[in-house]
C-alpha cells in the first residue's frame, strides 16, 4: 500500500464557481416567517444549473436503469438507516435504565 | 423619483455566528454594501442594509457576481468568528425597523441557531465527486468477464450479419455488468468515505468537466481529520478509470437546517 500521499482540496475560483453557485442557491439556512423575503430562485442561473445536472447520456447509451441516481441514493439511505438503528439500539436501553 | 410610500427596509443576511457586539466589515458586501453585524443575546447576524425586496436579475453575470460576494462575506465572517451558519443566497428580513426584526428573529430562533452552530463547530464542509471513465471500465469488464470475452471472440469469426447480433448481446451484457459494478463501487466508496465524516449527504449527480459522475457527496469533516480524508480519496483517485474531484473547505451550507 502506498503511504503518505494525499489529495488536497481545491478552492481555485475558476474551477469551483459551479460549486459556489450550487451551494449558495440550493443550500444554506432558510427561514420561514412573514417578515422575510426569500427568493433564491433566480430563473436564469436556476435553469442553467439544472441543465448541468445529471448528465448521464453515456450511461443511458449503455441502457442502464433509468432511476440509477435514485437507486444509488437508496443505498445511501439504507446504510444511514442501519447506522441510525444501531445508534438507537445503544441509546434505548440506557434510557430504560434511568 | 423613488417612491417613499413604504417605510419598510431590508437587511440582507449572510450568516449567523456567536458574538455579542456590533462589528463592521467595511464595503465587502453585494454591490459593495457596507457589511456589519447585528447582535442579540450572544448571537450575531452578518448583514447589509438594502431595500425590502429580493435581489433578482436576468443578467446571469450579475447574479454570479452577487453570489460570489455572498460567499466572500461568509468566508470573511468565518475567518473572524471561526464557526458560522451560512444562509442561502437572497434571504432578506424586512420591516419598518428591520434591524430590530433581525434581533427579534435571532432571539426567537436562538435554539435552532445554537443547535446548528454546535453541529458545525470545529468542522469543515468538503465536496467529493467521484467520476469514472466508462470506456476504460467497459474495456476492463469485457476482458475480465468470461461471458463477454467469449462473445467478443465469437464476433471476430462471425459473418457480418451475425456479428451485429452478437454485438448487441455484448452491449446488453456490458450494461448489466456496468450497472452492477456501479452499485458495488458506490457502496464501497460511500462506506470508506463515511468513516471519516462527521456527517455526509448524498447529492444528485451533476455533470462537471464532462465526466460521468458516479457519486456526488457533501462531507462534514472535523478539521483534524481532513488529512486522513485526503489520503482515503487519494486511494480512490489512483484506481484505474476513477477520478476524484475534491473541493473546499466550504462554509457548511449542506449541514444547516
Cα–Cα separations (whole angstroms), residue A89 to A80, A94, B14: 14, 9, 39
Looking at residue B58, what DSSP letter applies? S
Residue of A nearest to B199 (CA): A80
CB contact under 8 A, A53 and B244: no
Q: Of A2, A11, A28, which is closest to B87 when you measure between CB atoms?
A: A28
The stretches of B89-239 forming alpha helices (DSSP H) are 98-108, 110-120, 134-144, 146-157, 160-194, 226-238
Residues of A in contact with B219 (CB under 8 A): none
Residues of A numbered 7-46 whose beta carbons fall under 8 angstroms of chain B's beta carbons: which are they? 7-11, 15-31, 33, 35-40, 42-45
To which H or E segment does residue B12 belong?
strand B9-18
Residue A63 near residue B174, CB atoms below 8 Å: no
CB contact under 8 A, A23 and B253: yes
Residue B44 CA to residue B96 CA, distance in Å, equals: 20
Which residues are within 8 A (CB) of B112 and not within 5 positions of it... i.e. 6 or more apart? none
Whats the size of chain B, residue-wise? 257
Cα–Cα separations (whole angstroms), residue A66 to A36, A54, A59, A60, A70: 39, 11, 9, 7, 9
Residues of B in contact with A47 (CB under 8 A): none
Q: With a cut of 70, which residues of chain B have pLDDT below it?
A: 1-6, 207-211
CB contact under 8 A, B194 and A79: yes
Provide the shortest C-alpha distance from residue B252 to chain A (in Å).
8
Residues of B in contact with A29 (CB under 8 A): 16, 85-88, 91, 116, 256-257
Task: Tell me, yes or no, if A81 comes closer than 8 A to chain B by beta carbon.
Answer: no
Residue B14 has a pLDDT of 97
| DSSP secondary structure string for all residues of B16-28 | EEE-SS--EEES-
Residue A18 CA to residue A11 CA, distance in Å, equals: 11
Residue B164 has a pLDDT of 84
Predicted confidence band of residue A2 (pLDDT cuts 50, 70, 90): very low
Each residue of A23-74: pLDDT tens digit?
Answer: 888 888 887 666 666 554 444 444 344 433 333 333 444 334 334 455 556 6
Q: The pTM is what?
A: 0.79
Predicted confidence band of residue A84 (pLDDT cuts 50, 70, 90): low
- Higher local confidence (pLDDT), A71 or A5: A5
Cα–Cα separations (whole angstroms), residue B51 to A35, A71, B25, B96, B224: 13, 45, 20, 11, 42
Residue B257 CA to residue B42 CA, distance in Å, equals: 20
Q: Assign residue A23 a region (left: φ > 0; alpha: ψ between -120 and 50; beta: otherwise).
A: alpha
Q: Of A16, A24, A75, which is closest to B88 when you measure between CB atoms?
A: A24
Residue A97 CA to residue B30 CA, distance in Å, equals: 55
Q: Of the candidates A15, A19, A28, which has an alpha carbon nearest to the alpha carbon of residue A49?
A: A19
Residues of A in contact with B194 (CB under 8 A): 79
CB contact under 8 A, A11 and B247: yes
Residue A83 has a pLDDT of 65
Q: Of B186, B212, B244, which is closest to A58 when you measure between CB atoms?
A: B212
Candidates B65, B67, B98, partner chain A, best to mutate (most A CBs within 10 A) = B67
CB contact under 8 A, A29 and B206: no
Cα–Cα separations (whole angstroms), residue B114 to B47, B108, B118, B256: 18, 11, 6, 11
Which residues are within 8 A (CB) of B64 and not within 5 positions of it... i.e. 6 or more apart? A17, A21, A45
Provide the shortest C-alpha distance from residue B1 to chain A (in Å).
24
Residue B148 has a pLDDT of 85
Predicted confidence band of residue A92 (pLDDT cuts 50, 70, 90): very low
Q: Of B89, B183, B230, which is closest to A75 when you measure between CB atoms?
A: B183
Residue A27 near residue A40, CB atoms below 8 Å: no
Q: Of A29, A44, A75, which is closest to B85 when you measure between CB atoms?
A: A29
Residue B153 has a pLDDT of 82
Residue B137 has a pLDDT of 86
Amino acid at each position: 500500500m502506498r503511504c503518505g500521499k494525499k489529495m488536497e482540496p481545491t478552492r481555485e475560483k475558476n474551477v469551483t464557481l459551479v460549486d459556489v453557485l450550487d451551494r449558495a442557491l440550493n443550500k444554506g439556512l432558510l427561514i420561514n416567517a412573514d417578515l422575510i423575503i426569500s427568493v433564491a430562485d433566480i430563473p436564469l442561473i436556476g435553469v442553467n444549473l439544472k441543465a448541468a445536472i445529471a448528465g448521464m447520456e453515456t450511461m443511458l447509451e449503455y441502457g442502464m436503469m433509468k432511476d440509477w441516481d435514485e437507486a444509488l441514493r437508496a443505498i445511501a439511505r439504507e446504510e444511514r438507516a442501519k447506522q441510525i438503528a444501531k445508534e438507537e439500539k445503544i441509546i434505548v436501553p440506557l434510557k430504560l435504565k434511568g | 423619483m423613488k417612491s417613499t410610500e413604504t417605510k419598510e427596509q431590508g437587511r440582507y443576511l449572510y450568516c449567523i455566528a456567536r458574538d455579542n457586539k456590533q462589528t463592521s466589515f467595511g464595503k465587502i458586501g453585494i454591490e459593495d454594501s457596507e457589511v456589519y453585524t447585528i447582535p442579540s443575546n450572544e448571537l450575531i447576524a452578518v448583514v447589509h442594509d438594502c431595500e425590502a425586496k429580493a435581489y433578482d436579475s436576468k443578467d446571469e453575470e450579475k447574479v454570479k457576481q452577487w453570489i460570489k460576494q455572498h460567499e466572500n462575506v461568509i468566508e470573511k465572517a468565518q475567518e473572524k468568528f471561526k464557526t458560522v451558519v451560512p444562509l442561502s443566497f437572497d434571504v432578506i428580513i424586512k420591516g419598518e425597523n428591520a434591524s430590530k426584526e433581525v434581533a427579534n428573529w435571532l432571539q426567537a430562533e436562538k435554539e435552532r441557531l445554537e443547535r446548528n452552530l454546535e453541529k458545525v463547530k470545529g468542522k469543515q464542509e468538503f465536496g467529493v465527486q467521484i467520476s469514472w471513465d466508462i470506456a476504460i471500465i467497459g474495456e476492463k469488464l469485457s476482458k475480465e468477464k468470461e461471458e463477454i470475452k467469449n462473445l467478443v471472440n465469437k464476433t471476430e469469426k462471425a459473418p457480418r450479419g451475425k456479428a451485429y447480433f452478437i454485438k448487441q448481446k455484448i452491449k446488453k451484457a456490458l450494461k448489466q455488468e456496468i450497472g452492477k459494478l456501479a452499485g458495488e463501487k458506490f457502496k464501497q466508496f460511500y462506506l470508506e468515505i463515511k468513516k471519516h465524516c462527521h456527517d455526509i449527504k448524498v447529492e444528485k449527480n451533476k455533470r462537471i468537466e464532462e465526466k460521468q459522475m458516479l457519486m456526488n457527496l457533501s462531507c462534514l469533516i472535523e478539521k483534524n481529520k481532513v488529512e486522513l480524508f485526503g489520503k482515503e480519496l487519494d486511494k480512490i483517485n489512483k484506481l484505474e478509470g476513477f477520478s476524484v474531484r475534491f473541493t473546499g473547505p466550504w462554509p457548511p451550507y449542506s449541514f444547516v437546517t
